[in-house]
Amino acid sequence: MMAEGMEQFIGPRVPENEWRANRIRYVIPTLLFAAAAVLLIVSIFWPYWRLTLHAPQYPKGLTVQAYLNRLEGDVFEIDGLNHYIGMRPLNEAAQFEREVSIIGVAALALLILAAIFVHTRWAALLALPALLFPAIFLADLQFWMANFGQNLDPRAPLSSSIKPFVPPVLFEGKIGQFRTWAEPDTGLYLAIAASVVILIGLYFHRRAYKPLVDREA
């Protein structure tokens, strides 16, 4: 019973004569899924997001880069400015997400590779988490920015002049005398590229294997 269920999940094998006649048709989705997995793994080593803060005392601006598991850049200086408006230190955000991020992205890459060996519509389900990952990353980041902006310390020196706010996760934001510019960085662009490659791979996967599935139905 379990073996039968696995066969239905994995789908039909490609007949040898069909493989010889249309090898490229079946190789294309394999290569695309593998490329998407590589893009995700490579993205781990690059920053995903960049925030530049412009303040009167810092005319050149302060920049922080968010990797999946850490923050780099002018974190100390930005925390110092945020202290005056009652915002918590940046490293207090998304602590759980940063702890599991590397393993999580590696797991997404493995799911994409597993989809190579699944010849049914279940391949799309395996690839779905990686496909949605860039949007989930930005949504989680926006959640934490809103959480920090809406929960200011009322005892802060400038608490009376700054109302709770929601910093935008992308593009320009203004908080009092501060101006911020947020944008995706290399890692997120790689993850987005992986999502695009997955979509193309799913198209070619369906084109290759759906006729085999329909033939066995």
Domain-by-domain residue ranges, the chain? 36-216
Counting Cα atoms < 13 Å in the Cβ hemisphere of 180 gives 19
pLDDT at 12 over 80: no
Q: In what order do the strands lie in the sheet with 171-175?
A: 71-73, 58-66, 49-55, 178-184, 171-175
What Rg, from alpha-carbon coordinates, does the chain have?
23
Mean pLDDT value of segment 132-141: 96
User: Which DSSP state fits 13?
Assistant: P
More confident residue, 71 or 81: 71
Question: Contact 27/207 with Cβ under 8 angstroms?
Answer: no
Question: Contact 32/180 with Cβ under 8 angstroms?
Answer: no
CA-nearest of 77, 86, 108 to 198 is 108
User: Residue 5: what pLDDT?
Assistant: 60
Mean pLDDT value of segment 67-85: 91
Instruction: Give the pLDDT confidence of 107-122 residue by residue, as tens digits.
Output: 999 999 999 999 988 9
Instruction: Give the pLDDT confidence of 156-214 residue by residue, as tens digits.
Output: 887 777 788 888 999 988 877 788 999 999 999 999 999 999 999 999 999 998 888 87
More confident residue, 138 or 172: 138
Mean pLDDT value of segment 25-47: 97
**CA trace torsion 47, 53, 58, 59 (10° rounding):** 100
Question: Contact 99/69 with Cβ under 8 angstroms?
Answer: yes
What residues pair up with 58 in beta bridges, in sequence order?
Answer: 55
CA-nearest of 110, 128, 134 to 190 is 134
